[in-house]
Amino acid sequence: MEVNEPTAHHRTGKMRLPLYQQVLIAVTCGGLLGVLFGQDSYLGGLRNEQLGKLGLIVVSILKTLAIPLIFFAIIDALIRTTIPLRQGGKLLAICFVNVTIAMTIGLSIMNSWQPGLLWYGHVDDLLHIVPEAKTAPSYTSSDHPLQDLAAYIPRTIAEPFSSHNIIGVVLLALVLGVVIRALHNKSAQAGGAIDWVVQAIQRIYEWLVKILGWIILIVPIAVFGIVAQVVGKSGLGVFSVLWIFLVAMLAGLAIHSLIYYPLIAWFIGKKSPKVYVGQGADAIMTALSCNSSLATVPVTLRCLERMNVSAQSSRLAACVGTNLNNDGITLYEAMAALFLAQALGFDLTVGKQLVIVVASIIAGAGVAGIPEAGMIIMPLVLTAAGLPDEVILAAIPLIMTVDWIIARARSAVNVMSDMLVAILLDAGRRTALHK
């Protein structure tokens, strides 16, 4: 679920600019500063390079916050969410198939087309990375994908947090969440210490989300600094190669949402593309405009009603199951990680690509409903890909110059996923009733 901070009134009554508009302004101002002063000093010795370092600090804070945020988000979701076993099993199966197809599409595009190679040899200009930073990935390759995944199983409780091991963090969160939920159900009437633990987890999660909201407010400053630094060193030509990243990401999202979804809705859900896309257009366009599949839920439910999908299936897919219907985020994260790996000349084995896929899926599910989810989990997925921290910190602000476009496409894909899951759940329910 891609959630952007909604446009809202300040307490003073003034209108706050949406984040994407703030980013565009930051890109424009940073680019202008880079063109005017280059690498020269101004304003009493200030340099664009120093602004770039300031921008990296903001991205570092985002990366630091992401791990505890995902950890508590998963535990909180496991404690609160209640899904009937049979319906929950169908929901998980449908979501698993959808995200598997999404990952297959993404990996096929990245391995056959290899668009990241167009950045190869230009990483210094694009990311302002010193040669020493472009080292080989920190992991060692094995001959079997399962061995690569097994390497991410935590040895100690603290290890995943210190190493930013997103897979290990999610595994710990799942185990703790299940245990706390079981204990909480047993002590629901008696109360006691477990109730205090549940309340503490919910409160910590709320605090982390609030802190994240404050940090997102200064993200345009990070973009401003990085753009000023990069343009000051390499000129405006640096943006001429960003188009390949944008096209690659949008191509994967378009194939999955405009070909796979309509075909499955037609052949399995018995809803023609005219019904699925035509009756769902309001929800799709709302997600594109507001960059939020969560805010689009009321519109999504109305569109599903027009398609004659039962209210039960609609609510289960669009409300309860929305944590799992994040094909847009997971597809984007995996493709972006492979793109940057190709740009740096990293030859990722099948096992390492599988690790990236798993990291993208579980991180996408873990941050559902969190503002700017795609931005938050990107550093963690790139870390799972084995990219150097210097590359990760410098790449994020540069990618953000076009991410506001991709983010809207991700939101639309997530909404289309919600509608498809509801259609398939309803088709299965009707089949069961006819038997």
pLDDT in tens, the chain (435 residues): 555 444 444 444 455 777 778 888 988 998 899 899 888 988 888 888 888 888 778 777 877 887 888 888 888 877 876 666 677 788 889 999 999 999 999 999 999 999 988 887 766 666 654 334 344 444 444 555 555 556 666 667 777 777 777 778 878 888 888 888 888 777 655 456 788 888 899 899 889 888 888 888 888 888 888 888 878 877 777 677 788 999 999 999 999 999 999 999 999 999 999 999 999 999 999 888 777 787 788 899 999 999 999 988 998 888 776 667 789 989 999 999 999 888 888 888 888 888 888 888 877 776 655 656 677 778 888 888 888 877 777 777 778 778 878 988 998 999 999 999 999 999 877 666 555
CA angle 317, 319, 321 (to 5 degrees): 45
Q: What is the pLDDT of residue 10?
A: 40
The domain segmentation of the chain, as residue ranges, is 19-434
Rounded CA-CA distance 168/256 in Å is 29
Specify the residue for token string 């010795």: 45
Nearest to 136 by CA among 337, 348, 334: 348
Specify the residue for token string 């997925």: 381
Architecture of the 19-434 domain: Orthogonal Bundle (1.10)
Q: Find the Cα–Cα–Cα–Cα dihedral 386, 390, 394, 399, rounded to 10°.
A: -10
297 conformational bin, left if phi > 0, alpha if psi -120 to 50, beta if neither: alpha
Question: Exposed, middle or buried: residue 281 (CB in 10 Å: 0-12, 13-18, 19+)?
Answer: exposed
DSSP state of 114: -
Rounded CA-CA distance 388/399 in Å is 16
CA–centroid distance for 261 within its chain? 20
pTM assigned to the model = 0.80
